[in-house]
Amino acid sequence: MSPGKQAAARRKMDMGHMIEKPPPPIFPGYLMPIHSQAKRLLRTLTGVAVAAVTLPGASTAIAATATPDPFYEYTDSTPLSSYAPGTVLKTRTITYRILGLATPLKATQLLYRSVDVQMRPVANVTTVVKPWCLLCLNKNKVVSYQSFYDSLNPEDSPSRSIAGGKRLPDLIPGVETALFAPFLLQGYTIIIPDTEGPKANFAAGPEYGYHTLNSIRAALKSPELGLPSNTKVAMIGYSGGAIASEWAAELAPTYAPDVNQKLIGSAIGGVLVHPDHNLDYIQGSPIWGGVAGMALIGVGRSFDLNLPQYLSEKGLALHEKMKNQSIVNVLGQYPDLYWKDIVKPEYENRLKLGAYVDSVNKVIMGTGGTPTTPMFIGQGTGGELEGTKASPIWGKGDGVMLAGDVRTLARQYCAKGVQIEHKEYALSHFTSIAVWLPQAIGWVNDRFRNKPVPQNCASIQPGNPLDPVVALP
């Protein structure tokens, strides 16, 4: 085979799977006109991100401990509960930083009133980045970007990273800057909420949704931001960001109808639908096994469960080690981790643990309501590429999320009249995003352009039942 033909053949391969075409670049020219100023901004952001990781001394900076920041504390004498959700409590303007290195961007951070999963008032933070433009013809277009920072430590939130965090977990929001840059370059305003809240309640889906919706409320109300009354909002998120975006979409019609009127759609990928199914799927897997422990701690914390009383000695040691960790400290570190090994013998069948059953049933997607705005949903099925075998019960996934669960959620929403475009990729969780992202960007742009909404409800294949877990005596 000639070198040219060999190169063409290689372009058709993606992690061992044949695809018709290589995925388009993340910033394809046909998605947006990028003028010279915008190109310079993109080059600068990319350069800062690379420098943050590669400059001498970067490893020392990354290992540094975050400094406490009084901006995150609500200290007024007025009870927090007396404010409406979304009320702005504090405002500050900062330089947007990637692993501590300054970019040309300025960001507005808002401390705002929100609620946790039990509807108790809390103060949370969101970051808003306005476009770098003179005329700003798209100033009424807002994208709420939900991060996949996935951590049990509040210090790892996007707002702290953007304000100057130099720790290893701060790399995630830094990299994500490139993911939402295409919208910023078009003149859209970007909202980046701390979706897990002030306690970093990882995997507590409804809480993610409340913080996302109240973040949008706060941005719309902020006089410093000055967003126009005709502002429209699209939500986008992958993996942990998909948890936030999906829950916000399903909760919005009842919890935040004012925000729902502004929403034009949500694009999500790599979706956690039924966490109990995912526990079956990922336990024992070489890369993703530890994430089940993170979810157990995060959801347990959100519902005030006293987890240690149910744990074995191994489970107690795991809990102590993991309770403040980021996903970057967990991936690939806990192979062969199984539920039965971390709980006391009487709870080896998790359906006999009532506290687990009650909590896990409250974080099944689709149980909080039904979206009234369109959705683009992408999901990988090539989990074997990341070492996760197909579940004998729940089928294939992307290594951490189950495709059958996602299909059923999509079909469930289709049956209720939601306009859904659903796609599956023969790729893993890490590799699916390369295909999903340009599709999601194009889909969101089309919603702002009022193009007809694509949907393929009739062709979505049946998936797994999403019934609540039933406790055993």
The pLDDT value recorded for residue 195 is 98
Q: Are 41 and 132 in contact (CB under 8 A)?
A: yes
Cα angle 268, 12, 402; round to 5: 30
pLDDT at 132 (0 to 100): 82
pLDDT given for residue 147 in this prediction: 98
How high does pLDDT run on average in the chain? Answer: 90
Higher pLDDT, 10 or 109: 109
CB burial class (10 A; 0-12, 13-18, 19+) of residue 150?
A: buried
Give Cβ neighbours of residue 31 (< 8 Å, ≥ 6 apart): 182, 438, 441, 442, 445
39 confidence band (pLDDT: 50, 70, 90): low
Cα(181)–Cα(51) distance, integer angstroms: 18
Give the torsion sign (CA, 68, 71, 76, 78). negative
Give residue 2's pLDDT. Answer: 45
Q: Are strands 232-238 and 263-269 parallel, antiparallel or unpaired?
A: parallel
Judged by DSSP in three states, 258 sits in helix
Q: Which of 106, 252, 81, 282 is nearest to 189 (CA)?
A: 106
pLDDT digits (tens, 9 = 90+) for 231-275: 999 999 999 999 999 999 999 999 999 999 999 999 999 999 999
The pLDDT value recorded for residue 397 is: 98
Place of tokens 């490893």: 59
**Rounded distance between C-alpha atoms, residue 17 and residue 180, angstroms:** 27
Express each pLDDT in 139-174 by its tens digit. 999 999 999 999 999 999 999 999 999 999 999 999
pLDDT, mean of residues 12-36: 35
- CA 413 – CA 264 distance, rounded (Å): 16
Question: Residue 38 above 80 pLDDT?
Answer: no
pLDDT of residue 59: 41
Dihedral sign, Cα of residue 446, residue 450, residue 452, residue 457? positive
298: closest CA among 247, 371, 362?
Answer: 362
Q: For residue 261, give every residue at least 6 positions away whose Cβ sits within 8 Å of its Cβ, in sequence order, or none.
A: none
Predicted confidence at residue 10, as pLDDT, reads: 38
* Bridge partners (DSSP) listed for residue 127: 109, 192
- The pair phi, psi for residue 317, each rounded to 5°, is -65, -40
DSSP-derived secondary structure for 19-68 = -SSPPPPSS-TTT----HHHHHHHHHHHHHHHHHHHSTTHHHHHBSPPPP
Comparing 61 with 425, the larger pLDDT belongs to 425
Outline where 121-204 has alpha helix (H): 158-162, 171-185
β-pairing verdict for 189-193 and 141-146: parallel
pLDDT of residue 112: 98
SS3 content of the chain, % helix, strand, coil (to 5): 40, 20, 40
Taking residues 80-105, what's their average pLDDT?
97
pLDDT of 13 > 50? The answer is no
* More reliable by pLDDT, 47 or 20: 47
- pLDDT given at position 136: 84
Closest CA to 203 of 162, 242, 160: 242
How many degrees, rounded to 5, is the angle at CA 348 between CA 342 and CA 352? 125
Residue-wise pLDDT tens digits, 169-212: 999 999 999 999 999 999 999 999 999 999 999 999 999 999 99
Mean pLDDT of 343-348: 97
Cβ within 8 Å of residue 177, ≥6 positions away: 45, 49, 96, 98, 103
Alpha carbons 73 and 140: distance in angstroms, whole number: 31
Convert the pLDDT of each residue in 275-304 to its tens digit.
999 999 999 999 999 999 999 999 999 999
